[in-house]
Amino acid sequence: MKKKLFALLIAVLMVSTLLVGCKKKENSSKGGKKVGVAMPTKDLQRWNQDGENMKKELEAAGYVVDLQYANNDIATQVSQIENMITSGCEAIVIASIDGGSLGTVLKEAKTKKIPVIAYDRLIMDTDAVSYYATFDNYMVGTIQGQYIVDKLDLKNAAGPFNLEIFTGSPDDNNARFFYGGAMDILNPYIDSGKLVVLSGQKAFEEVATLNWSTEEAQKRMENLITANYADGTKLDVVLSSNDSCAIGITNALVGAGFSGNDFPVLTGQDCDITSVKNILAGTQSMSIFKDTRTLAAQVVTMVSAIIKGETVPVNDNKTYDNGTGIIPTFLCEPVFADASNYEKLLIDSGYYTADQLK
Ligand code: BGC
């Protein structure tokens, strides 16, 4: 009898352990806290990588992820964020399309005490932004400027060299940092006459490219060639703040017959596959490598710290004022990639396979 009772007890214990185990499993698959990730567009390779990396990392940390892309349409992004707020997201990560147009929807997030992290691009004029994570945008510009100084040997060469300038979208806070960093390096050479901008277009507003559009950059480069370089005048260098513009610039240059040694030094940013291929073909000189895996991992660390009420890691408390005050920021470090180091940076690190770059 005693034996029977003992066996029954063991059986009951086993069944209940099994049941609890099942319940636990159900909780972790369904019950993780929900995090919203709002990305600007699928059009650019980098945002697809950013979104996918973040989703993977957040899920691995046990969160449920609502990842949305807004087709570069502001109204779509606003309604996606609205939906994240009402559907119970406990934190929202946003790479904005227009950093100045999310104030109203984010008021709602603030009322509901949902923390917001600005991803890569700062969200302006709202106190609903808790943190910002990005690559050092000013440094992106200085690396591009320094690359030009080194490539043309501006310190020693007599020059003058002809330069044209392209930067990004005026509604993207980053664009002014990229432009500012590069121009801080190049301006002394422009002032001394070693670099000459034949078009005369140097001010931010004159060289900005709405939506970072490849087509817009191509059109402007075509016009610049027609007006200033069609007679064979040498164009030595084009500063482009990113790859989507550089690709348009390359199209215009190739279309106008620039090739080989005549091809100007041309900068970029993101290491998009098309641009890396152009680098290998000699129709772009360099790109800035911003390893989206690093940024995604950093943001996941920040999200987890916020949700758990722990100290959130930041390393910059002075640079990024969004109009309501300084936003505590984590800055990752960008590096340049060109034909001399792309294998180590991009292939050996597993960012791309060699086949993707063929
Ligand atoms: C990002 C760049 C990107 C550009 C266009 C900027 O805010 O920092 O990496 O090339 O947007 O999408």
Mind listing the pLDDT tens digit for each residue in 86-125? 999 999 999 999 999 999 999 999 999 999 999 999 999 9
Structural domain tally of the chain? Answer: 2
In a domain, 263, yes or no: yes
Of 230, 263, 290, the position where a domain reaches its end is 290
**CA proximity to 239, closest of 200, 287, 275, 194:** 287
In a domain, 195, yes or no: yes
pLDDT band (50, 70, 90) for residue 18: very low
Q: Is the pLDDT of residue 25 over 80?
A: no
CB 120 less than 6 A from any atom of ligand 1: yes
d(CA 183, CA 165) in angstroms, rounded, equals: 10
CA dihedral 194, 200, 206, 208 (to 10 degrees): -40
CA dihedral 248, 202, 145, 217 (to 10 degrees): -10
In a domain, 155, yes or no: yes
Mind listing the pLDDT tens digit for each residue in 211-253? 999 999 999 999 999 999 999 999 999 999 999 999 999 999 9
pLDDT band (50, 70, 90) for residue 20: very low
Residues 6+ apart with CB under 8 A from 206: none
Residue 314: the pLDDT is 97
In a domain, 13, yes or no: no
CB 173 within 8 A of CB 213: no
Q: Are residues 43 and 175 in the same domain?
A: no
In a domain, 196, yes or no: yes
pLDDT band (50, 70, 90) for residue 23: very low
Least confident range from 12-26, 145-159, 284-298, 310-324: namely: 12-26
Q: Please report how many Cα atoms fall inside a 13 Å half-sphere around the Cα of residue 248, on the Cβ side.
A: 24
pLDDT band (50, 70, 90) for residue 307: very high
Residue 26: the pLDDT is 34
Q: Are residues 52 and 156 in the same domain?
A: no
Share of the chain above pLDDT 70, in %: 91
What's the whole-number mean pLDDT along residues 332-341?
A: 97
Q: Whose CA is nearest to atom 5 of ligand 1?
A: 212
Q: Is 30 left (phi over 0), alpha (psi -120 to 50) or beta?
A: alpha
In a domain, 110, yes or no: yes
CA angle 328, 117, 334 (to 5 degrees): 70
Q: Are residues 146 and 286 in the same domain?
A: yes
Of 290, 321, 345, the position where a domain reaches its end is 290
Residue-number span of the structural domain to which 105 is assigned: 33-129+291-333
pLDDT band (50, 70, 90) for residue 28: very low
In a domain, 260, yes or no: yes
Q: Are residues 124 and 167 in the same domain?
A: no
Residue bearing the bigger pLDDT, 308 or 28: 308
Give the distance (Å) from ligand 1 centre to CA of residue 46. Answer: 8
Q: Are residues 116 and 149 in the same domain?
A: no
Residue 31: the pLDDT is 66
Q: Are residues 152 and 265 in the same domain?
A: yes
CB 229 less than 6 A from any atom of ligand 1: no
Mind listing the pLDDT tens digit for each residue in 289-299? 999 999 999 99
**CA proximity to 240, closest of 339, 154, 141:** 141
Q: What is the CATH number of the domain that holds 59?
A: 3.40.50.2300
Q: Are residues 115 and 244 in the same domain?
A: no
Q: Are residues 177 and 300 in the same domain?
A: no
What's the whole-number mean pLDDT along residues 36-61?
A: 95
Of 260, 290, 320, the position where a domain reaches its end is 290
Q: Are residues 211 and 253 in the same domain?
A: yes
Q: Whose CA is nearest to atom 9 of ligand 1?
A: 270
pLDDT band (50, 70, 90) for residue 11: low
CB 139 less than 6 A from any atom of ligand 1: no
Residue 8: the pLDDT is 56
Q: Which atom of ligand 1 is nearest to the CA of 140?
A: 8
Mind listing the pLDDT tens digit for each residue in 171-217? 999 999 999 999 999 999 999 999 999 999 999 999 999 999 999 99
In a domain, 153, yes or no: yes
d(CA 128, CA 145) in angstroms, rounded, equals: 34
Q: Are residues 315 and 282 in the same domain?
A: no
Q: Are residues 50 and 72 in the same domain?
A: yes
Q: Are residues 226 and 167 in the same domain?
A: yes
Give the distance (Å) from ligand 1 centre to CA of residue 263. Answer: 25
Residue 10: the pLDDT is 57
d(CA 143, CA 179) in angstroms, rounded, equals: 11
